[in-house]
Each structure stands twice: as structure tokens, then as C-alpha cells.
């Protein structure tokens, strides 16, 4: 049995930042990850990370307060404003720390960290490393983890949190290589497992980005918050839905329909292609739905992202990854041809409910990054704020967990607590491996993907979402009768994917229930039957708690400090 002060579940940016800060606070830290950390989905983030450095001449008047206002307005006023102010104030210091640790940010001609415009921002404040920013930051943090001798258990997968009387004491995890279940005792657990994008089919997320991390906390008693708010990125390539960074538009790229019109003029005349993502995604989908997009029977239609006018030199310097993706997956060179794109699921604004110190309702359990909801994104995240959130609240999670552990006296539980939890998971996995059901889990997964894509997408209606909820409940029943996963648990990816599917189904239920109940349009949640934002009734967070009957919803007011809600115009 492994034992530590602080266990970090997840090896992406939030997890590594949390581990570094907990270690620096004197804690014994273990990071557990189903991937090697540098393969985490954080590395797929392309465009940049926001901070009010005021390095760009067009942003010389930028500051943390203006960054906070843009974030809150972009959130459609659902973000908790105290948390946003914490994030934007901390941003410059964290960027400079990354620079001092060796992160290779792109530079302006005078040698300072370069900053590009991003959607919904009043100033160019997005720091970047070409179009590989997440990859560069991930490598930088991993170097610090190695430097600090932090133990990493790679290719281990947590299957259960160990909670006794509202206090988290550790986890039961599957060592994927040996197939053995192991128990890890920890005084504090930090969940940093990323988003649940693979509940959807058309997603820019890696196949490892599932709802299991959120589900683990949900099953352990921590509520999920605002799961109905799902971000669709405007520009993913047709067929594979791989991301074309917002940096394409930040560098000056155009969105063009089949009539060769820059159609964003109709929807956001001042910001054009640099309007917030929810607005740009809806605009693209509207063009496709109304016949001004290019038709495609497989992908469902698309428009063009045109960066040809930027020129070969700029594309190769600032957008080399985008060019590589186009060459490899579309067989076209964006220097010479426009890129066929469509909106795709991209980010989970909701997640494990935490306060501004990353703590959940379960004592000793913390969460940070995309799996958490603090909430700094509200109903719509601005591009460049996700990487920032991982750094700011990863740090706060590590520091909060360390402070909690330092204040503990004796652990109030018995070794039987760990042993009993281990036995329950042995029984559960043995059942999944050997049960006599006949249902195909991959058909269940595909039907879940299709249901969310078609019924709980960019545009939503009561009728569609009722059908989606009925379908999700039916799929949960079918899951109880799935085929056996196979008796050899060593590198049994069949078993791993089945465990992830179980998490996706429960989290999807919270998502659909929350979306059906919210009778308004706000940010990414756009209803055709309730087209207006309703601050009188819905300026509040959706809280979903697990019960034997399924998700139970309640609500909590959004925190307003100094920015009163107003109409969003761009």
C-alpha cells in the first residue's frame, strides 16, 4: 500500500502545478495518472494563456481589472466574480514564473513575451508559444516535478475515492500494467483529471478526456456544478474535429461561407471573428443550418477558415502546428487553401463544485482544472483562460491541501476503512470482468455520443432534451447488462473504457437534467424555446448531487462583486 500526505489524481497542468506547490509546502506528494504526464490532454492546448502583461502596443492600458471584466462579461455574468478577480490578479506572476523556469514563449521584436488578440478580450493579452502553448507549459512544469523528486505513478487509474463519514482518506486504483488493484492512503486528494468531452462524439478532446474523474468525486458525495454549460469551439476540422486554434483568428484569419462572405459581420460587427466562442459557434452553425455553409453528408456541413492572406512566413512562424494538422489529416496546405471547419465540443465549463480555495464539500478532497468548477468561466469560457485556470487554481489546490494536512492531528479512521474499500472495488471489477450480460458497451458509448451531439448541442429545445434524458436513463439500464470485460486485467483497455463509460453516463445525466431545467439562454446554453437570458430567475449555479434515484438538482446564487449584469454586445 502506498501512502502520502497529498495525492494528486491527474498529470496535466492543474495536477502538476498542484503537486509542485504542495511539495514546496513540505508535503510528501504522489501524482497518479492513467497517462504519462507529458501525454496529458493539456498538451493539446494551442493558442495561448491570458495575462495582463500589457506587452502588446495595442494593449498598453491592459490590467487585471480589465481582464476580470472581459472574463465576467464573456461568462454571461454567471462566473463568480471573486474567483475571477483572484485568477486575473495572479496571472502575470505565474507567467513570469513559467518564463523563469524556461517556458519558450514567442517573443515580440523588443524581446518581451508576445501577446495576441483572442475572442472576447478588450486587449491583446494572450501569451503564446507559436500554436503549441499547452505543450510547452506542460513540459516546463514536468521538469519542475522531476527537479522536486515528486513520485509519479504512470498508467495507474483511480477507480474509487475512499470516503468515510464525509472525509476522504485515499483511493483505490488499478495498476494498468500489472492489472492489480492497489490502495493509496492520503491525507488530502486533489482531483485534476481534466474535462469530460468524450461524452460527445464530435469533440476536439482526446479519447482519454472522459467524465470518470468528475464521476469519482460525484459518487463520493461532492456535487457537480453547472454541467449544462458545454463549450463548442467554433473551428474544428471536419471529420476528425481536431482543433484549429483561436490563434488562427487572433493572427487575422477570416471565417467565410460558401458565398465568400465574412459572415461574422452580421453577428458581431465590432469583434467579427474575435467575438466570444459561444457567439462564433452559433453563427457558424446558423450559416450551415440556413444553407450558406458547404454541404457534406458525413460531417454535417462546414464553412471555411481562411488564413491564406497571412502569408507563408507568418503561418510557418505562428501557426506551424495548424499547418501540420491540415497536411496530415486533411491533405491540404492552409498556405494555399482554406480550411473546412465546423463547431465541435471543446470544453466543460461545469465540473466538481469547489470554492475559491479549490475545496469540495468532502473534507480532504480538492479539485482544479477542467474537472472542477470554481466558477471562473460561468456560462462561456474565453479562450486563453483555461490554461490560466489550471495554473492559478492548481496552485491554490496544492497550497490549500498542504494547509489542511498541516492542521490535522490524528487520522480519524481505521485501516478497515481502506481494506473494506479495496474489497468493494475488487468485487465491482470482478463483476465487470466476468458477468454474463450481452449488451455491447461500445454501442452504448456510440449512442450516448450521438444523443448528446444531436439533442444537447449548440441549439437546444425542451423536446430534444427530454428525449436525451430518456435515452441516457435507458443507456444506464443497459450498462448493467453489458458483456464481460475479460478476465485478464493486465492492460485491459476494454475494462478501462467500460469504467470510463460508467462515469460518462452518470455525468451526462447531470448535464442533461441541468440543461432541461434551465429555462433561459445564457452563454453556451442556447435554447430555441427560451431565447433570452433571464437574470431574475436564472442568475444562479446548478448543483447536482448523486442519489439512488439519480441526479438531484439544487441552485446557488452567482457571486456578484462589482460588475452588474448587462447585455452582451460585441
Closest by alpha carbon to 44, among 232, 204, 273?
204
Instruction: Look up 428 and say whether it is catalytic.
Output: no
Residue with cell 474537472: 371
Q: Where are the alpha helices (DSSP H) in 202-319?
A: 212-219, 247-250, 264-267, 277-289, 312-318
Query: Distance (Å, rounded) from C-alpha 70 to C-alpha 63?
Result: 11
For 77-110, b where at least 16 C-beta lie within 10 A, e where not — what string? bbbbbbbbbbbbbbbbebbeebeeeebebbeeee
Closest by alpha carbon to 505, among 212, 286, 98?
212
What does each C-alpha distance from 244 to 234, 279, 300, 517 come to in angstroms? Answer: 9, 17, 18, 33
Of 67, 198, 249, 541, which residue is the catalytic one?
Answer: 249
Q: Is 394 helix (H, G, I), strand (E, B) or coil?
A: helix
Copy the grid coordinates of residue 137.
Answer: 507549459
Query: Distance (Å, rounded) from C-alpha 315 to C-alpha 310?
Result: 7
Tally of CA atoms within 13 A in the half-sphere of 213 that contains its CB = 37
Strand partners, 3: 185
Helix axes of 64-74 and 81-100: crossing angle, nearest 10 degrees: 120
Instruction: Look up 522 and say whether it is catalytic.
Output: no
User: Which residues, 6+ apart, have CB-to-CB distance to 445 below 8 Å?
Assistant: 497, 501, 504
Of 41, 66, 116, 233, which residue is the catalytic one?
Answer: 233
Residue with cell 450558406: 292
Sheet holding 351-353, edge to edge: 372-373, 351-353, 224-225, 540-545, 552-557
Burial of 486 (0-12, 13-18, 19+ CB in 10 A): middle
Copy the grid coordinates of residue 385.
Answer: 483562460
Answer for the pair 246, 566: CB distance below 8 angstroms, yes or no. no
Query: Distance (Å, rounded) from C-alpha 347 to C-alpha 467?
Result: 23
Catalytic positions are 233, 249
Amino acid at each position: 500500500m502506498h501512502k502520502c500526505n497529498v495525492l494528486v489524481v491527474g498529470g496535466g497542468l492543474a495536477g502538476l502545478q498542484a503537486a509542485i506547490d504542495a511539495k514546496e509546502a513540505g508535503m510528501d506528494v504522489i501524482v497518479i495518472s492513467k497517462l504519462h504526464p507529458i501525454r496529458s490532454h493539456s498538451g493539446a492546448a494551442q493558442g495561448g494563456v491570458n495575462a495582463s502583461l500589457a506587452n502588446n502596443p495595442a494593449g498598453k492600458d491592459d490590467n487585471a481589472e480589465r481582464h476580470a471584466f472581459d472574463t465576467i462579461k464573456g461568462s454571461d455574468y454567471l462566473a463568480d466574480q471573486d474567483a475571477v478577480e483572484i485568477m486575473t490578479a495572479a496571472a502575470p506572476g505565474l507567467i513570469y514564473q513559467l518564463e523563469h523556469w524556461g517556458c519558450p514563449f514567442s517573443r515580440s521584436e523588443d524581446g518581451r513575451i508576445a501577446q495576441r488578440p483572442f475572442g472576447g478580450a478588450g486587449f491583446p493579452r494572450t501569451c503564446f508559444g507559436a500554436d503549441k502553448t499547452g505543450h510547452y507549459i506542460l513540459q516546463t512544469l514536468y521538469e519542475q516535478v522531476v527537479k522536486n523528486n515528486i513520485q509519479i505513478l504512470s498508467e495507474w487509474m483511480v477507480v474509487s475515492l475512499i470516503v468515510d463519514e464525509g472525509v476522504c482518506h485515499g483511493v483505490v486504483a488499478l495498476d494498468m500494467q500489472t492489472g492489480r488493484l492497489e490502495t493509496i492512503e492520503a491525507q488530502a486528494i486533489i482531483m485534476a483529471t481534466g474535462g469530460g468531452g468524450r461524452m460527445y462524439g464530435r469533440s476536439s478532446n482526446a479519447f482519454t478526456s472522459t467524465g470518470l474523474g468528475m464521476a469519482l468525486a460525484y459518487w463520493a458525495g461532492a456535487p457537480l456544478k453547472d454541467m449544462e454549460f458545454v463549450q463548442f469551439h467554433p473551428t474544428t476540422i471536419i471529420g476528425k474535429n481536431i482543433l484549429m486554434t483561436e490563434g488562427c483568428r487572433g493572427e487575422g484569419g477570416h471565417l467565410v461561407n460558401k458565398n465568400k462572405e465574412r459572415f461574422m459581420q452580421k453577428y458581431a460587427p465590432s469583434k467579427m471573428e474575435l467575438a466570444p466562442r459561444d457567439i462564433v459557434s452559433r453563427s457558424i452553425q446558423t450559416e450551415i443550418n440556413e444553407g450558406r455553409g458547404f454541404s457534406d453528408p458525413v460531417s454535417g456541413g462546414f464553412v471555411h477558415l481562411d488564413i491564406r492572406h497571412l502569408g507563408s512566413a507568418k503561418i510557418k512562424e505562428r501557426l506551424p502546428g495548424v499547418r501540420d494538422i491540415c497536411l496530415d489529416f486533411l491533405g491540404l496546405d492552409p498556405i494555399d487553401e482554406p480550411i473546412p471547419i465546423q463547431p465541435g465540443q471543446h470544453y466543460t465549463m461545469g465540473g466538481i463544485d469547489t470554492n475559491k480555495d479549490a475545496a469540495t464539500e468532502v473534507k480532504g478532497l480538492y479539485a482544479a482544472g477542467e474537472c472542477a468548477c470554481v466558477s471562473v468561466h460561468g456560462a462561456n469560457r474565453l479562450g486563453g483562460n483555461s490554461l490560466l485556470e489550471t495554473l492559478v487554481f492548481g496552485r491554490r489546490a496544492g497550497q490549500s491541501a498542504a494547509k489542511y494536512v498541516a492542521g490535522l492531528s490524528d487520522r480519524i479512521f481505521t485501516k478497515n476503512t481502506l481494506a473494506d474499500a479495496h474489497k468493494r472495488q475488487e468485487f465491482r471489477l470482478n463483476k465487470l470482468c466476468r458477468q454474463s450480460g450481452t449488451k455491447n458497451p461500445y454501442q452504448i458509448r456510440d449512442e450516448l455520443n450521438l444523443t448528446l451531439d444531436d439533442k444537447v448541442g449548440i441549439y437546444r429545445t425542451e423536446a430534444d432534451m427530454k428525449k436525451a434524458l430518456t435515452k441516457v436513463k435507458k443507456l444506464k439500464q443497459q450498462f448493467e447488462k453489458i458483456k464481460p470485460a475479460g478476465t485478464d486485467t493486465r492492460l485491459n483497455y476494454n475494462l478501462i473504457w467500460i469504467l470510463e463509460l460508467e462515469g460518462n453516463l452518470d455525468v451526462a445525466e447531470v448535464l442533461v437534467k441541468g440543461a432541461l431545467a434551465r429555462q433561459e439562454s445564457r452563454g453556451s446554453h442556447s435554447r430555441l424555446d427560451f431565447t433570452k437570458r433571464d437574470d431574475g430567475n436564472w442568475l444562479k449555479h446548478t448543483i447536482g448531487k448523486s442519489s439512488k434515484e439519480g441526479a438531484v438538482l439544487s441552485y446557488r446564487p452567482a457571486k456578484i462583486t462589482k460588475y452588474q449584469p448587462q447585455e452582451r454586445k460585441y
